[in-house]
Amino acid sequence: MPEPTDPADLFTRFLAEEAPVHPLPASEVRRRGDRLRRRHRALTAAAGAAAALLVATPLALATRGAETAGLDPAAPSPTATPAPGDVDWVTGVPADFPLGAGLRGLSEQPEVVPGFAPDPPVRGCQGGAYTAEAPVRAVDAVQLDAPNAPGSEGGVQRGLLLYADDDAAREVLAAQEAALADGCGSADPLVSDLGEGSVVWVQRSGDAGEGELVQLVTVGNAVLATSTTFGGAGDAQVVEQTRELAQSTSALVVSSLCVFAADPCSQPPGATDADATTAGDRVPDGFPLTAGYPDDAAAGSGQPGLQELSRAVGPLTLAACGREVALPPGRTDLVRAGWSDRDDLRLRNLAVFARAEDARAYADDVLALHRDCPVDTGATGTAVETAVVASDLGEQAGVVVRSTTGADAAPPQVLHVVRVGRAVLVSLVTGPSVPAGSSPAEAAAQSDTAVREVAAAMEVFAS
Amino acid sequence: MDEREFDDFYAASYARLVGQVHAMIGSRDEAEECVQEAFVRAWAHRRRLDRADHPEAWVRTTAHRLAVSRWRRTVLGRRPADRAVSAPVAAPPPSEAHVALVAALGRLPEAQRQALVLHHIADLPVRAVAREVGVPEGTVKARLSRGRAALAALLADDDGLQEGAHHA
């Protein structure tokens, strides 16, 4: 019989008994932080540039409410944050605030209606508690509903709420974070780093894999709530892709929230990044990263479908046998495109590096990761056999095919890794387009034609 | 927060935060990675950090959220090449009691575990714990009470832990 252990005693000794830490040098942490900050600026700039194409009329931010301070069409204001008492918070949503921007495939722009209740876009945990009255009373609110099809329950809903000040807006997020920490039904929080603060979670319902991804973003005294219903919510990759899709389609709206900041902008940022790179460092406009993908319309209702080339995404991290290969630093550009349906996921990441040797090292790492892992049981406990097939694409390439065996074997995953000069393409296909039971060579060949077209276009990065 | 202030803050609080997040999530390697990433974000958003009353709490909350999200992503991942946690980093083996405490904490409900760690390991008063997790003080007290009782039972139970909880 063991002797009872006093938790208080263990707590007291806990930190002293912790193993030594191995922190990065502070200068490296700051360098990475600066890089992250630059990337966010670049994403915001990209969203602004996209706005020029998406919005037919210039954003002349008139106001519906009484307070219009800071909305004149001038350059963004200085970055110094005014003292809290000096801020004239905007108390009315501007009449042409682009709440519906980025919603694709709609025959007409959804109507923005005032108010948030009685059918709020965000239902909080287990329904109902999140309105213009709770957890904090809003001073103004608008919302829109963009169903996938007339009468459909699926689609995107957005709500924009303004509060008395930024403390009140932050309280809304804090309340949701606390609810998530307490379990929040079947909700799962996801990582998010949007605006001045954000919370993103997925709420699953039933056994049919239906899910609702909710994104709350605050800037100044505003909270933008976006709800996206989707299928395949039990699949982590579908969830992640839906999160990225929601983030990219709402990028302009999020960037436009700057008009509600304590130090407001006058218009969504559309200028190029201050760290703009030279031609050849960036993936050119019109690059055919979606070559060979099905049309958007081929995706089922409520499914993400085609995702055009975008910079509003994070890097694709690959893992096998407990080891992970992330994109290394030294990149000058990173873009992604994809196509997905309920059971079909296709993603392409194209990274451009400052130096060809960095690109070569990354491609080597990705291929070595899989060569060194012929059988991976991973977190699922299912044995996955991995083969790396030679490829003649680009200057350096390989095709990773990961398959399971048995009666219930899933279709193989096919990962093309292609380097041309300073650019590396990682193209992932998984789903019924590659039949289960295909040999590695057959699986590699299935998606080779489409990747070949992308590889040819990568000649612009040739050494 | 300028560079020197940040560097001092980082040096003073990094190890402490890794220990606290370790106790919250049960994985030492994950804790160190998430705290590291949280400090990167802290520097990237230092204006926000300047406005925070408690910068260390900001970093701890960010690291915890990162860890929870990574864990869920890993557990829910059905496809083998899904994003995953990074490779473990070699570290000296901890004592049996240390392992036992982490294992016992891992069997508690998340809210109780968080309250215990913030109060007993981060040494925060109940009021500060309530502020950090966004619940009333009474709720924190209840979680602490239930958590301590459950923890004592787990640590005393020979079969209660799957690893390392043997104190002859």
Q: Is B73 an interface residue toward A (CB < 8 Å)? A: yes
Position B130 confidence tier, pLDDT thresholds 50, 70, 90: confident
Q: CB pairs below 8 Å between A and B: how many? A: 205
* CB atoms B81 and A320 under 8 Å: yes
When mean pLDDT is compared over A3-12, A34-43, A205-214, A417-426, the highest value belongs to A417-426
Q: Which residues of B touch A176 (CB under 8 A)?
A: none
**What mean pLDDT is predicted for residues A372-385?**
74
Q: What is the pLDDT of residue B76?
A: 34
Q: How far is CA A120 from CA A33, A143, A145, A225, in A?
A: 36, 8, 10, 9
> Nearest CA to CA, how far is A185 from chain B (Å)?
14
Q: Is B22 an interface residue toward A (CB < 8 Å)? A: yes
Q: Structure tokens of A430?
A: 């998984």
Q: Which helix (H) or strand (E) holds A160?
A: strand A155-162
Q: What is the pLDDT of residue A425?
A: 94
Does A317 score more than 90 pLDDT? no
When mean pLDDT is compared over A66-80, A114-128, A276-290, the highest value belongs to A276-290
Choosing among A29, A219, A242, which should be mutated to test the B contact, i.e. which has the most B CBs within 10 A? A29
Q: How far is CA B51 from CA A62, A257, B9, B48, B127, in A?
A: 30, 19, 15, 5, 20
B4 compared with B82, residue with greater pLDDT: B4
Q: Is B146 an interface residue toward A (CB < 8 Å)? A: no
Distance CA A42, CA A312 (A): 9
Q: What is the pLDDT of residue A381?
A: 61
For residue A199, the chain B residue with the least C-alpha distance is B65
**What mean pLDDT is predicted for residues A424-441?**
83
**What mean pLDDT is predicted for residues A65-87?**
35
Position A40 confidence tier, pLDDT thresholds 50, 70, 90: low
**What mean pLDDT is predicted for residues A363-373?**
91
Q: What is the pLDDT of residue A198?
A: 86
Distance CA A47, CA A268 (A): 9
> Nearest CA to CA, how far is A176 from chain B (Å)?
9
Does B81 score more than 50 pLDDT? no
For CATH 1.10.1740.10, the residue range(s) in chain B are 1-80
Residue with tokens 């059918």: A119
Does A11 score more than 90 pLDDT? no
Q: Which residues of A touch B68 (CB under 8 A)?
A: 189
Q: What is the pLDDT of residue A70?
A: 26
A169 compared with A277, residue with greater pLDDT: A169
Fold for the domain defined by A296-461: Protein Transport Mog1p; Chain A (3.40.1000)
When mean pLDDT is compared over A75-89, B18-32, B87-101, the highest value belongs to B18-32
Instruction: Please choose, from the candidates A95, A330, A360, A414, the residue with its C-alpha nearest in 3D space to the C-alpha of residue B79.
Output: A414
* CB atoms A11 and B47 under 8 Å: no
Choosing among B22, B82, B121, B167, which should be mutated to test the A contact, i.e. which has the most A CBs within 10 A? B82
Q: Tell me chain A's radius of gyration from C-alpha atoms.
A: 24
Q: Is B94 an interface residue toward A (CB < 8 Å)? A: yes
Does A319 score more than 70 pLDDT? yes
Does A141 score more than 90 pLDDT? no
A358 compared with A264, residue with greater pLDDT: A358
A146 compared with A27, residue with greater pLDDT: A27
Q: What is the pLDDT of residue A418?
A: 95
Choosing among B76, B116, B121, B144, which should be mutated to test the A contact, i.e. which has the most A CBs within 10 A? B76
- Which residue stretches of A232-284 are H helix? 236-249, 251-256
Q: What is the pLDDT of residue B69?
A: 62
**Residues in contact with A286: Cβ distance below 8 Å, sequence separation at least 6, in sequence order:** none
**Residues in contact with B140: Cβ distance below 8 Å, sequence separation at least 6, in sequence order:** B115, B119, B126, B129, B130, B133
Does A124 score more than 50 pLDDT? yes
Q: Which residues of B touch A316 (CB under 8 A)?
A: 83
**What mean pLDDT is predicted for residues A171-187?**
74
A66 compared with B20, residue with greater pLDDT: B20
Distance CA A415, CA A403 (A): 12
Report strand pairing: A331-340 vs A323-325: unpaired
Does A290 score more than 50 pLDDT? yes
* CB atoms B7 and A1 under 8 Å: no
> Nearest CA to CA, how far is B34 from chain A (Å)?
11
Q: What is the pLDDT of residue A424?
A: 94
Instruction: Please choose, from the candidates A391, A444, A447, the residue with its C-alpha nearest in 3D space to the C-alpha of residue A419.
Output: A391
Q: Which residues of A touch B46 (CB under 8 A)?
A: 33
Position B14 confidence tier, pLDDT thresholds 50, 70, 90: very high
**What mean pLDDT is predicted for residues A198-214?**
77
Task: Report ipTM (2 d.p.).
Answer: 0.76
Q: Does domain B1-80 have CATH number 1.10.1740.10?
A: yes
pLDDT digits (tens, 9 = 90+) for A329-345: 667 777 888 887 766 77
* CB atoms B98 and A14 under 8 Å: yes
What HEC string does A304-326 produce? CEEEEEECCCCCCCEEECCEEEC
> Nearest CA to CA, how far is A329 from chain B (Å)?
14
In this complex, the residue of B14, B40, B167 whose CB is nearest that of residue A5 is B167
Q: What is the pLDDT of residue A368?
A: 92
> Nearest CA to CA, how far is B146 from chain A (Å)?
13
Computed over every residue of chain A, the mean pLDDT equals 72
Q: Which residues of A touch B6 (CB under 8 A)?
A: 26, 30
Q: Is B149 an interface residue toward A (CB < 8 Å)? A: no
When mean pLDDT is compared over A239-243, B106-110, B164-168, the highest value belongs to B106-110
Position A67 confidence tier, pLDDT thresholds 50, 70, 90: very low
In this complex, the residue of A5, A378, A382 whose CB is nearest that of residue B155 is A5
Q: What is the pLDDT of residue A51?
A: 31
Q: Which residues of A touch B70 (CB under 8 A)?
A: 191
Q: What is the pLDDT of residue B86?
A: 28
**What mean pLDDT is predicted for residues A403-419?**
80
Q: What is the pLDDT of residue A130?
A: 55
Position A279 confidence tier, pLDDT thresholds 50, 70, 90: low
CATH of domain A28-75+87-260: 3.40.1000
When mean pLDDT is compared over A44-53, A135-144, A174-183, B107-116, the highest value belongs to B107-116
Q: What is the pLDDT of residue A78?
A: 32
Computed over every residue of chain B, the mean pLDDT equals 75
Q: What is the pLDDT of residue A259?
A: 83
* CB atoms A5 and B114 under 8 Å: no
- 3-state secondary structure at position A376: strand
CA dihedral B162, B163, B164, B168 (to 10 degrees): 30
Which of these ranges, A14-28, A53-67, A126-140, B58-72, has the smallest mean pLDDT?
A53-67
For CATH 3.40.1000.70, the residue range(s) in chain A are 296-461
Interface of B with A in 26-55 (CB under 8 A): 28, 32, 36, 39-48, 51
Residue with tokens 């304590």: A262
Q: What is the pLDDT of residue A258?
A: 82
Q: Structure tokens of B123?
A: 């040494």
Position A125 confidence tier, pLDDT thresholds 50, 70, 90: low
* CB atoms B81 and A415 under 8 Å: yes
Position A434 confidence tier, pLDDT thresholds 50, 70, 90: confident
CATH number for B92-168 (one of 1.10.357.10, 1.20.1260.10, 1.10.10.10, 3.60.130.10): it is 1.10.10.10
Instruction: Please choose, from the candidates A349, A369, A359, A348, the residue with its C-alpha nearest in 3D space to the C-alpha of residue A423.
Output: A359
Choosing among A3, A13, A18, which should be mutated to test the B contact, i.e. which has the most B CBs within 10 A? A18
